[in-house]
Structure 1
Amino acid sequence: MPFRKNHKNNSNIHTTLYDQHVVIVPPPPPRFTITEWYLNNRQRYRACDDQQALADKVLAESDRVREQTDEETKLNKREVDHHLGQKIQDIEFMKGEIDKQRKEVVKEMDNLTLYADRINDAVRCIDECYNICKKCIIMREVRLGIDLCHDDVERELLKERDVIEGAKALLTRDLQQSNEQLRRLRMTVYFMDRDLEDKCNVLKIDEHNLGLREDSLNLSMYHGFCPLDPASITAEEWEQFSKTSIENGAKEINSARLLRSYVDTIINQAMMDLKNQYHVVNDAFRRRIEETKECKSKMEIQHAEVVRQVNEITRSLTRLQKSMAEKEGFMALAHTRLGNRAQRPGMELCRDLVETNLVKEVTELRYNVSRLQQMMAEGQASMRYLLKTQIQLEEDINIKTNTLKIDEVDCMTLRQSMNYQNY
């Protein structure tokens, strides 16, 4: 190869010389002394020894650095593996704590949902009882006459309506609070689920990283510009975040338990108040029904007595009319005798004992007839008053019968379906 190159160069020189017709004389070779030759050789030997010594040092240092880096690499890997194992344990511990707290939150959600259903059942029961109470108030407005009064039953019914409205408003507010607490519990479960999902993914990543070795397949080198450690959250912040999630769950559980205890108290107190008022109203109804029955019974007795007296007066008036008719005959007889004796002649037309007795008889008959007429008028007036009283009593009895039908049959039968329970 050098020969070919020199041959090519010689061809170019000859060509150039032939073209220019110029002869170039090469310079003479350099000349060195023997001393320079020895010095050059000793310099070469010394340089070779120095380079060999330096190479020995580099080889020794290379072995030392190689062994040191190998040891540091293995130590770093063991340390990273150790920290990965600890991190996996921390994640599993936090995951277990959050999962346990989540189960408690879900359990409390179920309990609070049951309490919300209890409140709904209680509100439905109160609505039914409220409708019955309103129906009783409306039906009692159909009472007639004097029975349409503001009695104890009406006062207690109105009070019962107010008690029911107050209990319903209180339970409705408790239901709203329960729904709000359920929403907060669901929100807590949602964030816990997200945290658990993130921890499960991180656990898979770290377990996969822990299982990787330097000779594992699918290893790759990153040549990008973005940093491989973009994490901006410290380990303390991570741990505090998990603890905050657990504390929020515990806080919501305590709030839900306090609310359930409050709901228990409110339901029991409300149902107790409603039951007490229910019994008070029923007692008022029973007293009123007994009073009405007693009054109706007395009126029926009085009505029977009035009817008897009307019959007696009717018979008495008949006897008075008969007696008056009989008196008319005696009056006509006395008048006829006096008329006949008025025709006596002369001195025979004297006021003798017969005349005196006839005049006395006529006077007494007139007085007796006037007395009979007076008694007849009084009897007829008394009969009119008795008949009016009879009609009034019959109206009052009908009113009491209507009141008894409303109170005893309609209202009390309807109120039997009012069933207050401690839901």
Structure 2
Amino acid sequence: MGENQFGVRNVMEAPIATTRLSNQALVCMPPRAAKYTLAEWKMSNDHRCRNTEDQQQLADRILGECQRIREETSERTSIMKATSDRRMEERISDIEFNKTELQLQRKELCLELESLSVYKNRLQDCLSSLQTNALSICRKCLMLRDGRVGIDLVVDEVERALQQEIATILGGQSLLEKALEQLNEQMRRLRSTRYLVDRDLQYKQAAIDLDKESLSIKQTDLCLPVYEGHTGFDPANIMVDEYNAYSNKNVQQAANAVTNARPIKVFIDTILKQVIDDLWNAFNKCNYEFNERIKDTKQTKAKLEDMHRETTQKIVDMQNNIVELQKSLLAKEGYIGLAHTRLDRRTQRVGAELVKDSPGQSLYYECEMLRHSTEQLQQMLREANASLRFLLQAQIQLEEDINVKMNTLKIDEVDCLTLRSTMDFHAY
């Protein structure tokens, strides 16, 4: 017998005559599908027809409304585009007029700046020389002196003199800048005004280009972007009256700057003479402090070298002393061994002979004396070795200090003074 799709063995395949009811297996049959009545069938068809008719009527209303909206929006779009084009053309004309006014004022600004630049060159040359030569050399000397090491890295009179010289140079620069300020005050204003005018011209040209490009764009062009954001699309927050006031203000500022700009004469020679005299005084004082510091460093270096020689001799003496102490200790080892051997052999006596007699006492005191002497020699050897280590450490420190002084002398005498010999102050 086979099995059907429900996994139930099909018992109907066997001959009915040869099977008995008691031997047949139970069969589970699937439930039959529910059937609808004729009234339900008609009701379903009527419902589908009514829904279709309603959707068709709604579609007719939507088609009519869409036709009306298309015609209305098309007309409104054409009107708004024509209005926008006309207003953009008017705006381009207004911007070009303001741009022309600004260009005229910019030309006047450039001519005035060229006329004032002649009065500025002399003071600028002096300031440039102080900055690139004198101030650079003084700061480089300070940087070189930072290369001193150890205890020589000290704030001394030379460093104070260098700081004072730098302060004098900076003060001279300040005086020259004040003299120059009267000359270029209007020049700074002219440059500032020209910058504002250039920026305004740049913005106006960009606005003209954008509007002209916008006018050239047609609705039939391809790849036109569409804004799909949620915020307001127009970021403009400046009113037309504010814009006109801003443009008029730039034109008026440019005109006022040109009107107020006048050549200003100052007593440049007097100021330069005062600055140069102060710089020479600071230069001579700094060189004097350099020479004094070099003299002190050389004296200290010579003293350290003398101490180094003495320390070296002490080290040799201490090394010889340690050798003698070690020899003494080696010499004591034989006596100690002899005394201990004798004591050990006398312990081998038997009976009444193992008596504490005078030879035994003498040997005991000899051992104690030798032990005490050995301890004294060892203590002195330790102290001698410690003293030798300290002397060697002192010798190394003296050598380091001497090297430090040599480094300081090289920096002050060779590097700094050679560098300062190139400094020159003169009236420009």
Q: Normalised by the size of structure 1, how large is the TM-score? A: 0.49
Q: When you count helix as a share of all residues, which structure comes out higher?
A: 1
In the superposition, the TM-score normalised over structure 2's length comes to: 0.48
Question: Which protein has the larger Cα radius of gyration, Structure 1 or Structure 2?
Answer: 1
